[in-house]
Chains A and B, each alone.
Chain A
Amino acid sequence: MGRMITIKALKYNPNSKVSRAHFAEYQLEETDGMTLFVALSKIREELDHDLSFDFVCRAGICGSCGMMVNGTPKLACRTLTRDYENGVIQLMPMPAFKLIKDLSVNTGEWMEGMSKRVESWVHTNEVPDFTKLEKPIDPQVAEDTFELDRCVECGICVAACGTKLMRPDFVGAVGLNRVARFRMDPHDNRTDEDFYELIGDDDGIFGCMSLLACEDNCPKHLPLQSKIAYMRRKLVALR
């Protein structure tokens, strides 16, 4: 028999007039290799049908299960309950995003806005000629670009960012990383002047205070610190 663990989850429905924010406590038996996803599913099945939270892939791929676990944003499906020695785990929804209910927040809407804001698509005038072979790309450049493409838009970097919590218009590490990704991509013809128009202000790259909680919590271990520094150097160097 596994040990008993306690999960405290913040319950609140911002759309209900009668809902009062409070922590609900659940006791359950820990099973082998139990993740928070497993624990929460069990709670919803057996203890509280009303508890809201999001999961899709259960494997750290879709990025929909971000939540604050004992104060730090994590992917719940990749978080093992056994890593919490005293067996008490406090769950809260990620800040910075619109709260839907309990642990469920709307990251999708925010990410869409971010994508539009940094124009997260390849800008090019070239018309592809399908009768010819594509121009070769330096494998290292391709690899570096794909590396930054691994972002799953989980929003953990945003929820971890003290700057963002103080200043809601801040573009966040995910947005800055996205710009760095297109700057590296040789398919994209945008210049630094163009990128400056997107993030060259105090809500963009110059708003970043280098707290680096993004870097330290990104579940994909993206090189956020060095990419933000890179964009900062490039954009400060403009005349």
Chain B
Amino acid sequence: MSNLIEGFLGKSVEGKKSRIPAKLDYWQSATGLFLALFMWGHMFFVSSILVSKDFMYSVTKMFEGVSFIDGGNPFIVSVAVAIVLTIIIIHAVLGMRKFPANYRQYRAFRTHMKMMEHEDTTLWFIQAFTGFAMFFLASAHLFIMLTKPETIGPFGSADRMITDWMWPIYLLLLLAVEFHGSIGLYRLSVKWGWFEGSDAKVTRANLKKVKWAITAFFLILGLTTLAAYMKIGLEHRDHAGQRFQPTAMIIQHANSIIYSKNQNIDMNTETPFRALVARNFSGIHFQGKGV
């Protein structure tokens, strides 16, 4: 009953203001902070492709829980995606409170922003705009990760870029996330007075510099990574859909073939073995079960 009265009057039966707006503000920041830090980690994992396909593959397997499930299980990835997606939805619901709600508000803000040319005001607009864009961009990405986690990998992800035509979405999503996230972290700091120290104005100027450095760093890393996947995707276009086989597995398999056929061959010098490894490194892929 008190909910009815509270909803109707806009204050509690005791005449007190609701604590919910405080909670919403808190959770807006908490989810934003989580997402921004998560995106840092995410970027480092994704950029493992810059080291090597094998490394990216082992990072993928790590998230599939290979250390405690034999061969790993991509369903674990789906669960993680579902959690992140839920947090994004909560964050987006809370963020929506701040969007211009009608044309009058939008026009007032835009006129003011263009007229005043004040950096943090403009940055807020970029944040709101990129946040809006992520409703669509992030959903597209996350839905695929949710439903097809087993396709993540050096070739699977690369094929997605080129053969499945996802690169334009990833490019836009990258720009949106990096601007939104770094502006968001800066805003969090000034909003709650973190790192304030003895001179808040000096701190803020420094935070702003750090913010731009973070934006630049992650944009460069992100664009390079995206380019790397696109390159692999182009090279692998004719074999699209085929899964990556880590070098270690190929060597192991080669060993077993050689062993079974020719027990007395010296593994380190014998040519068939070398040829196998060399073929793998030159980008020719093995087909058939287990290879």
Residues 12 to 30 of chain B near chain A (Cβ within 8 Å): 16-19, 21-22, 24-26
The answer to whether A95 touches B112 (Cβ under 8 A) is yes
Report if B108 contacts A (CB, 8 A): yes
Residues 84 to 130 of chain B near chain A (Cβ within 8 Å): 97-98, 100, 105, 108-109, 112-113, 115-118, 120-121, 124
Residues 191 to 236 of chain B near chain A (Cβ within 8 Å): 191-193, 196, 200-201, 204
**Would A212 and B196 be within 8 Å (CB), given that A165-B112, A202-B21 are in contact?**
no
Residues 144 to 202 of chain A near chain B (Cβ within 8 Å): 160, 162, 165-167, 196-197, 200-202
List B contacts of A211 (CB < 8 A). Answer: 118, 120-121, 124
Give the bracket for the number of chain B residues in contact with chain A: 20 to 34
Pick the most buried of B18, B19, B22: most chain A CB atoms within 10 A of its CB: B22
Report if A232 contacts B (CB, 8 A): yes
The answer to whether B193 touches A226 (Cβ under 8 A) is yes
Report if A84 contacts B (CB, 8 A): no
Q: Mark A117-130, 1 if CB is under 8 A from B, else 0.
A: 00000000000000
Tell me, in angstroms, the Cα distance from A71 to B105 when the chains sit together: 18
Residues 178 to 237 of chain A near chain B (Cβ within 8 Å): 196-197, 200-202, 206, 208-213, 216-217, 223, 225-226, 229-230, 232-233, 235-236
Tell me, in angstroms, the Cα distance from A46 to B19 when the chains sit together: 58
The answer to whether A229 touches B112 (Cβ under 8 A) is no
Nearest-neighbour CB distance to chain A for B199, whole angstroms, equals: 10
The answer to whether A165 touches B109 (Cβ under 8 A) is yes
Contact of B118 among A95, A213, A225, A232 (CB under 8 A): A213
Tell me, in angstroms, the Cα distance from A162 to B98 when the chains sit together: 11
Tell me, in angstroms, the Cα distance from A233 to B115 when the chains sit together: 32
Tell me, in angstroms, the Cα distance from A173 to B98 when the chains sit together: 17
Tell me, in angstroms, the Cα distance from A233 to B19 when the chains sit together: 14
The answer to whether A212 touches B190 (Cβ under 8 A) is yes
The answer to whether A210 touches B26 (Cβ under 8 A) is no
The answer to whether B117 touches A236 (Cβ under 8 A) is no
Closest residue of A by beta carbon distance from B120: A212
**Would A166 and B100 be within 8 Å (CB), given that A229-B192, A229-B196 are in contact?**
yes
List A contacts of B115 (CB < 8 A). Answer: 68, 71
Nearest-neighbour CB distance to chain A for B68, whole angstroms, equals: 39
Chain A residues packing against B (C-beta within 8 Å):
68, 71-72, 95, 160, 162, 165-167, 196-197, 200-202, 206, 208-213, 216-217, 223, 225-226, 229-230, 232-233, 235-236, 238-239
Q: 10 closest A-B pairs (Cβ-Cβ)?
A: A229-B193, A71-B115, A226-B200, A166-B105, A210-B191, A206-B25, A165-B108, A206-B21, A211-B121, A213-B118
Chain B residues packing against A (C-beta within 8 Å):
16-19, 21-22, 24-26, 97-98, 100, 105, 108-109, 112-113, 115-118, 120-121, 124, 187, 190-193, 196, 200-201, 204
Q: List 23 A-B contacts (CB under 8 A).
A: A72-B116, A95-B112, A162-B121, A162-B124, A166-B105, A166-B108, A196-B22, A197-B16, A197-B17, A200-B19, A202-B97, A209-B98, A210-B190, A211-B124, A212-B204, A225-B193, A225-B200, A225-B204, A229-B190, A229-B191, A230-B193, A232-B192, A233-B192
- Beyond the given pairs A206-B21, A213-B121, A226-B200, 5 more chain A to chain B contacts, judged by CB atoms under 8 angstroms and listed by A's residue number, are A162-B112, A200-B22, A210-B190, A210-B191, A232-B25
